[in-house]
Amino acid sequence: MSTVGRRRTVSVNAGPHAGRRALVTGAANGIGRAIARRLTAGGATVTALDVEPVTDDAWPAVRYDLSETSGLEALVEQLELDGAGVDILVNAAGIQGHFDLAQPSAEVLRHVLAVDLEAPLLLASLLGVRMADRGYGRILNVTSVHAALGERGGLAYDSAKAALEQATRTLAIELGGGGVLCNAVAPGFVETRMAVVDGVLETRTRRFKELYVRSGRIPLQRAAEAEDIAGLSSWLCSTDNTYVTGQVIRVDGGMSVTL
């Protein structure tokens, strides 16, 4: 079930998102939170959705488990009750789930696909149609370099992100006539909680530095911070973006162009 937090007063500044309302999933931390902050700074009124508590006092908060996809239509209706509507949707929420081929788990597969693929597609569909009816909208899907680069144990996650990238292209075709631009950003290594493996931030390990930094595999010689993803994301969701749609932009420090 969803719980809508008490709405707080949010100042609206002149900027590329002035007067727009945004819904950002996964906004409690990491990339989602960084994007929500950028949108707010640009003048948007942001609603932050996460299964975890959102501690930033700047935004109204919606507590919701995106694996409960059957409740998303009611959630969208609740968000649109005041008639203003959602102008910007950022699907930043995501989970990983180790998928062992030797012991395949339908439960793991269903859970990862629900959060990483089904929920974003349903939200994009439900809100995208409303945006198109109003003549303006921006949809951004946060995918991953894992959509193109596989990893052991990542069958569910990698498949979900690859499908979400293709869905981004189809959404751009379906909604473009209504003034809705749909794009995706695909981060590489980012210093967020998702990069913590067995209690260790993988981007700070000796292995990471040897394999990706000193070897030149990442030309910029560092992992990204969430803000590195948020800057481009904010622009793609803004009124400054007038003609970019259906694109997947890698934000990986150049990793995907090296051998």
Would you state the pLDDT for residue 97? 86
Domain with residue 99: its CATH number is 3.40.50.720
Residue 78 CA to residue 128 CA, distance in Å, equals: 16
Residue 50 CA to residue 64 CA, distance in Å, equals: 6
pLDDT band at 13 (very low <50, low <70, confident <90, very high): low
What are the backbone dihedrals phi and psi of residue 58, each rounded to the nearest 5 degrees, phi first?
A: -75, -15
Range of the domain at 204: 191-223
Q: For residue 101, with 0-12 CB atoms within 10 Å meaning exposed, 13-18 middle and 19 or more buried, which class applies? A: exposed
Same domain, 217 and 229: no
Same domain, 86 and 198: no
What would the DSSP string read from start to end of 26-53? TTTSHHHHHHHHHHHHTT-EEEEEESSP
Same domain, 111 and 196: no
Same domain, 10 and 95: yes
Same domain, 9 and 105: yes
pLDDT tens for each residue of 234-254: 999 999 999 999 999 999 999
Same domain, 126 and 205: no
Same domain, 66 and 167: yes
Structure tokens at 69: 């996809």
Catalytic residue among 64, 157, 212, 243: 157
Whether residue 233 has pLDDT greater than 50: yes
Mean pLDDT of 180-194: 93
> Is pTM beyond 0.85 here?
yes
Would you state the pLDDT for residue 11? 41
Rg of the Cα trace of the chain?
Answer: 18
- Does any domain span residue 103? yes
Residue 158 CA to residue 163 CA, distance in Å, equals: 9
How many domains, in total, are found in the chain?
2
Residue 34 CA to residue 26 CA, distance in Å, equals: 10
Percent of the chain with pLDDT strictly greater than 90: 78
- Does any domain span residue 155? yes
- Does any domain span residue 109? yes
Give Cα separations from 47 to 7, 9, 58, 61, 77 (angstroms): 9, 12, 9, 6, 14
Whether residue 14 has pLDDT greater than 90: no
Same domain, 47 and 30: yes
- Does any domain span residue 15? yes
Same domain, 92 and 169: yes
Same domain, 149 and 81: yes
Whether residue 8 has pLDDT greater than 60: no
- Does any domain span residue 259? no
β partners of residue 183: 140
pLDDT band at 104 (very low <50, low <70, confident <90, very high): confident
153 or 115: which carries more pLDDT confidence? 115
- Does any domain span residue 21? yes
Would you state the pLDDT for residue 128? 98
- Nearest CA to 255 out of 160, 166, 143, 144 is that of 144
- Nearest CA to 248 out of 139, 123, 88 is that of 139
Residue 115 CA to residue 157 CA, distance in Å, equals: 10
157 among known catalytic residues: yes
Mean pLDDT of 59-73: 96
Residue 156 CA to residue 161 CA, distance in Å, equals: 9
- Nearest CA to 45 out of 25, 26, 59, 28 is that of 59
Percent of the chain with pLDDT strictly greater than 70: 93
pLDDT band at 82 (very low <50, low <70, confident <90, very high): low
Mean pLDDT of 56-71: 94
48 neighbors 29 (Cβ within 8 angstroms): no
Same domain, 156 and 216: no
**Which range (35-39, 176-180, 205-209, 239-243) has the least confidence?**
205-209
Residue 154 CA to residue 163 CA, distance in Å, equals: 14
Question: Residues of 147-182 as b/e, b for ≥16 C-beta within 10 angstroms?
Answer: beeeeeebbbbbbbbbbbbebbbebbebbeebebbb
Same domain, 109 and 235: yes
Would you state the pLDDT for residue 192? 85
- Does any domain span residue 142? yes
pLDDT tens for each residue of 23-63: 999 999 999 999 999 999 999 999 999 999 999 888 999 99
- Does any domain span residue 19? yes
3-state DSSP call for residue 194?
Answer: helix
Which contiguous run of DSSP H or E holds residue 207? helix 206-208
